Amino acid sequence: MTDKLTIALAQINPKVGDLEGNRQLILEARAEAAKGKADLIVFPELAMSGYPPEDLVLNQAFLDATEATITTLAEATNDGGPALLIGAPWRKNINAGTAYEGKTLSSLDQDSAAPSKPSFNAVLLLDQGIIKTVRVKHDLPNYSVFDEKRVFKSGPLPGPINFRGVRLGVLICEDFWTPDCAVCLLESGAEILISPNGSPYEHDKTSTRMTHAVARVTETGLPFVMINQVGGQDELVFDGASFVLNADRSVATYLPSFRSHIGMTHWQRHSNGWLCDVTERCAPPNGAAAIYQALVLGLRDYVIKNEFPGVILGLSGGIDSALCAAISVDALGSDRVWAIMMPSPYTSKDSLEDAEKVAQRLNIRLDRISIEPAMQAFDEMLKQSFKGRPMDITEENLQSRARGVTLMALSNKFGHMLLSTGNKSEMSVGYATLYGDMCGGFAVLKDVYKMDVYACSEWRNGNMPEGGLGPSGWVIPPRVISKAPTAELRPNQKDEDNLPPYPILDSILHSFIEEDSGIVSVVEKGFDEAIVQRVKHMLNRAEYKRRQAPPGVKITLRAFGRDRRYPITNGFREEGP
């Protein structure tokens, strides 16, 4: 039995499916932990495969390769260095019947055998050259962005892992959000609770995690370790922000947010249990600072992990495209960002000047391609078909589509991924053009309300994000932030010609989307009934557009696509007060 323990927390950024790349990340983290004389290094949930692997874990060849890679990692621990506590998808027929401290893998699947769900979400202890112990996730989340019940099998309530005389209670992510597994581990003799996580970022998520962790510590009287993944994966971004709570609920360690990091924690056994020494404690960002850093990380990983040479975007002189350009430069560097200004006869001199100022401040390439020839060509081509019909939104949409075609042509020709620059407020009410400004491979502001666009722009002008590759100081001209938003598709057009003021619109949308409120309850908050009814109508009618929108970084409780899935064909009409 030992009275001292050094546990390294490996807050790493794996890539889903990249087993060799992830293996190298794991070995590099282990080498760093070895320099700190760690006894054990703990990795996030499913660090071997990357999280979330989705239907990849239904592929038997992938599971074969994962298990082979785990075997090589186990062999690497035969050098006397740190043991690995690592997450991976794991099938029951590997080492079937072999006892892992009283639990047999063959006993884990008595009630859930199904060929379409071949594996468990597991954590494996690799030490002294072998796979010492396997524990599997009990509580599979099946809400919001999670659908683990679709691809994994649920395991039994866990028992502790005996590691060099210390009984470690492993709670895999969702297992720590409710008391059952923690209490079971306490009753089974666990001394330290360790929770490998794949917990995506969203507004106020850090405080929610801490609340659940404090509850588990309070119920068990045991110290608690939460190790979380960092990085972007499709629409999700993981913020890390791993931490350690002692049994008195005090914070011993808090790792940085939104970046990879290896944290060393030092533990001592006392008469009343284990105590972690206080080490680094990095306060997590909040508000616009957290949103901005989440967007930078999400975009950076989407571009880099998918091996795009850079991004291209339309720079209109408005705040949305200016913020997208700033995020892109902070994520990728100015040499990988290409902006196109596409004026029409309705484009103002201010917009042309503002776009140029943004490009100059960010030091990015800016080309100007007029869409007026395309507008004239469409007018001529459709003149006979449109004969007798007045100009309306059709001609406005053609302008947007001419821009979309132009940007997609450049993207196809040169390989840069096209960024869509629309925000959540616009997408909520359908203030966007299919095959026009909705064109793109990634929508960086897809889950960012308009008022948060303003907040992020103000924040970036006064702050430099950690690890950002752009210039310091202001990057979005004050006039871009202060002027009235406009699509400039007709003379003197303003967004508020068609929409309520954004502070009101965003509040109503938040009630409908994040809170699932009904019309009556929203009106009771003090909003005009006619406006509420109109916003709800627009929200419902725009579902078909949102289904065709590109992916984008999720930062709110309910993002369109993975979270909020309303039927397009929907006959329900809610009555007002």
| pLDDT on residue 561 | 80
Is 45 an active-site residue? yes
Determine what percent of the chain is predicted with pLDDT higher than 90: 77
The structure tokens listed for 299 are 């975009």
Residue range 378-395: average pLDDT? Answer: 92
Residue 375 has pLDDT above 70, yes or no: yes
CA of residue 493 relative to chain centroid, distance: 35
Residue range 294-322: average pLDDT? Answer: 96
| pLDDT on residue 248 | 95
Q: Which of 15, 45, 202, 276 is catalytic?
A: 45
Is 173 an active-site residue? yes
Q: In the beta sheet, which residues pair with residue 7?
A: 40, 265
Tell how many helices (H) and how many strands (E) occur in the chain. Answer: 17, 23
Is 15 an active-site residue? no
Residue 489 has pLDDT above 80, yes or no: no
Name the residue among 487, 427, 448, 437 with its Cα closest to residue 326.
448
CA–CA dist 177, 196 (Å, integer): 12
Confidence bin at 110 (pLDDT 50/70/90): very low
Residue 21 has pLDDT above 60, yes or no: yes
Q: Lowest-pLDDT range, 38-47, 93-102, 229-238, 494-503?
A: 93-102
| pLDDT on residue 16 | 94
Per-chain mean pLDDT for the chain: 90
Between these two residues, 331 and 101, which has the higher pLDDT value?
331
Confidence bin at 160 (pLDDT 50/70/90): very high
| pLDDT on residue 43 | 97
| pLDDT on residue 539 | 92
Burial of 214 (0-12, 13-18, 19+ CB in 10 A): middle
Determine what percent of the chain is predicted with pLDDT higher than 70: 95
Residue 487 has pLDDT above 80, yes or no: no
| pLDDT on residue 40 | 97
Residue range 437-447: average pLDDT? Answer: 94
CA–CA dist 106, 209 (Å, integer): 33
Q: Which of 15, 92, 117, 137 is catalytic?
A: 137
Residue range 41-53: average pLDDT? Answer: 95
The structure tokens listed for 302 are 């989407």
| pLDDT on residue 108 | 42
Confidence bin at 107 (pLDDT 50/70/90): very low
Residue range 310-318: average pLDDT? Answer: 95
| pLDDT on residue 286 | 92
Confidence bin at 484 (pLDDT 50/70/90): confident
Cα–Cα distances (Å) from 433 to 114, 374, 412, in that order, read 44, 17, 20
Residue range 249-257: average pLDDT? Answer: 96
Residue range 119-138: average pLDDT? Answer: 94
| pLDDT on residue 366 | 97
| pLDDT on residue 116 | 54
Residues 520-566: tens digit of each pLDDT: 999 999 999 999 999 999 999 989 899 998 999 999 888 888 778 77
Neighbours of 445 (CB within 10 A): 29
Residue 567 has pLDDT above 80, yes or no: no
Tell me the backbone φ, ψ of residue 330, rounded to 5 degrees.
-65, -30
Decide if 512 contacts 538 (C-beta within 8 A): no
Residue 117 has pLDDT above 70, yes or no: no
Residue reference for tokens 């396997």: 134
Confidence bin at 149 (pLDDT 50/70/90): confident
Confidence bin at 92 (pLDDT 50/70/90): low
Decide if 285 contacts 544 (C-beta within 8 A): no
Decide if 527 contacts 507 (C-beta within 8 A): yes
Residues 51-79: tens digit of each pLDDT: 999 989 999 999 999 999 999 999 999 99
CA–CA dist 207, 41 (Å, integer): 25
| pLDDT on residue 492 | 76
| pLDDT on residue 104 | 39
Residue range 383-394: average pLDDT? Answer: 91
Residue 170 has pLDDT above 70, yes or no: yes
Q: Which of 173, 184, 276, 456 is catalytic?
A: 173
